[in-house]
Copies of this chain bind each other. A is one copy, B any other.
Amino acid sequence: MDTVILSDWLAVRLATRRERGDAEPAYRQLLRLLQQAILTSQLPPGTKLPSSRTLASDLGIARNTVLHVYDQLTAEGYVLSTTGSGTYVADTRPDCRAVKVHKAAAAGGSVADAARPTDFMESEARDGADAARRTSDMAHPSRPTGMRELSARGGRLIREAGVSPKQWGAFMPGVPDVSEFPARTWSRLQAKMWKQTHPDLLTYAPGSGYRPLRRALSDYLRVARSVNCTPDQIIITTGIHQSIDLAVRLLTDVGDRAWVEDPCYWGVRSVLQSSGLALAPVPVDDEGLNPSESDLRAPPKLALVTPSHQYPLGMVMSLARRRTLLEYAKQHGVWIVEDDYDSEFRYGSRPLASLQGLDDAGRVIYVGSLGKMLFPGLRIGYMIAPEDLVDTFRTGVAELYREGQLMQQAVLTEFIMDGYLTSHVRRMRALYGERRQMLIDAITARFGDSLPVMGDEAGLHFVLGLPHQANDRAVAAAAHDAGVIVRPLAAYYSGEAAAQRGLLLGYACVPNEKIGPAFARLAQVIEQTSLQARRRSPHAA
C-alpha cells in the first residue's frame, strides 16, 4: 500500500464509521485503523507513512490529531520516527531479532530478511492467511477451537458447580432476610468511622484483621459457642470459603484425603477439590458423622464437619461422637475443620458446646462467618487457629489473599460493641422461627405427616422429605418453572446411590405473607410430580 492508497483507505474507513454512527473520536479511530493495518501487514515493515500535514488534509481532520496519533504509534513501537527522514512502519512481527534489522532500515538502510527460529516460521505463514480473512476489523477475532477446554480440575469445578444464579426469594436456602438488616444504623456507624479514618485502616490488613474486632469476636464466641480462645487466635477472613481454603493450603498437600460429610455443602467440595484434595465422603446418621470401620482404617489428613447443625440435614453431632472424633484426630494427626455456620439461629433447643472448646490437642480449626447474622454481601468471617499455628495462619492469609477491608471491620466492631449484633440476631431468631412455623404449618395442612420435616431445630432452612419414588431433582426443576426455588437434597450427596430424596426449603428470606402462596405452588408441583412417578411405576409403595 503506498501512501496515496493509504490515505484513501483510511478516508473510506473513517467515513464508513461515521455513517454507522460511531461516536469514537477521530483520534482513536485513526489510531486503531493504523495499528490494525500494521499488525495485519497491510502496512508492511519499512513502509513510509505520509507526513502529518498531508494525511490531515487528505482526511479532512486537524493536523494536531494526526500528530498525536503518530506520537502514540511511536510510543507504542508501531512506527519509528527519524528527524528529517519521516515516519516508518516498524517491524513488530513475532521475532525479536528482526526488529533491530528494521530499525536500521527505517533509519535509511535496506530491509533485510533476518533468519528466524523455525519455531515461529509456521505461524508467520498462517499470519498472512489470517490477515486476509480478518480484513480490517477486529470485531470478530478468529479463535482457534479445540484448545479452549478448561483444565481437568477447572472442568470438574464448573460441571459440578452448586452455586445458584439467584440468591434471593422463596425458598432459597441459606440466605437471611437482608431487608430486615438495620441499614440506617450501619450507615450511621460507617459515616462515623469514615470521619476519623486512619491510613492504617485504608491499606492492606496485616494478616489477621482489625484487633478490636478480634477481641469482640473472641468474647462473643467464648460465651455463645463455648470456644476456648484468645483474641490472638482469631484470624479475620472473607468467610467460610476463604477460611477453609487457607487451612487446606497450609495443612494439606495435593492428593491428601479429606473426609467430608455425605451429604455436605457444595462449596466445601469445590474448594477442597480444586486444591487437589481427594474427597472421602463419610455417611452421617442422627448423631452426626458416622465413619465406617473402613473409613477409620484410612485416616484422612483433614476432616470437615458441621457439628452444631449438619449441613444440609440439620442434625446435631452427639457429644460421644464429638469426643470420638477428637480422640481419633489426636491419635492419627487429623486436622478437623469445624464449620459452625448457622449456630446462632436455634429454635427451642440449646446449642452444644463447639468441638473447638472440647479439643485439648490443638487439632480443631474453627470457622464461622457473620454473613448469615447480618448480610451475606458483607464478606467477613473468622477462623480460630490452634495457638501454636496462629503466626502461620496470619502469614498465610496475608500472603495468599492480601486482604484489606479494615474500615468495614471497624464499622462491624462498633456495631457489635454497641449491642446491635445481639439485638439483631435476637430479632431475626424470632422472625425466622415464626416463618419456619408458618412453613411447617402449611406443609402439615397440605400433606399431614406424610412428608417428614428434618433439621428444623436450627438454621435458615430445613429439609422436606419426599416419597421414595419421587425424583427431587425433577421436582426442583418443575418448581423452578413455577417460580419457586428449592434445592434437591440429592445434589448434596457424593452420588445418587447414597442420596436421600428431599428438598431444601429456606424460609428465612421469605416475607411472612409470601410463605403460604409460594408453598401452595410448590405443593402442586410435588403432587403432580409424584402422581406422574406413581403412574410410571404403579406397583411401587
Contact = CB atoms under 8 A, between A and B. Distances in A.
A249 B319 contact: no
A94 B352 contact: no
A360 B251 contact: no
Q: Quickly give the copy total for this chain.
A: 2
Interface in A348-376: 349-350, 352-353, 358-362, 371, 375-376
A163 B402 contact: yes
Interface stretch (A142-150, A437-445, A523-531): A142-150
A232 interface: no
Interface stretch (A54-62, A235-243, A423-431): A235-243
A128 interface: no
Nearest to A200: B168
Nearest to A288: B96
Interface string A120-137: 101100010010001000
Contacts of A320: 77, 90-96, 98-99
A431 B175 CA distance: 45
A203 B167 contact: yes
Interface residues of A, number: 141
Contacts of A77: 318-320, 352
A447 interface: no
Nearest to A269: B399
Contacts of A200: 167-168
Interface in A11-48: 28, 35, 39
A352 B151 contact: no
Interface in A232-268: 238-242, 249-254, 256, 266-267
A195 B191 contact: no
Contact of A400 (B122, B157, B386): B157
A396 B91 contact: no
Nearest to A172: B203
A199 interface: yes
Contacts of A538: none
B377 A76 contact: no
Contact of A361 (B143, B167, B333): B143
A183 interface: yes
A194 interface: yes
A282 interface: no
A72 B350 contact: yes
Contacts of A72: 350
A316 B266 CA distance: 43
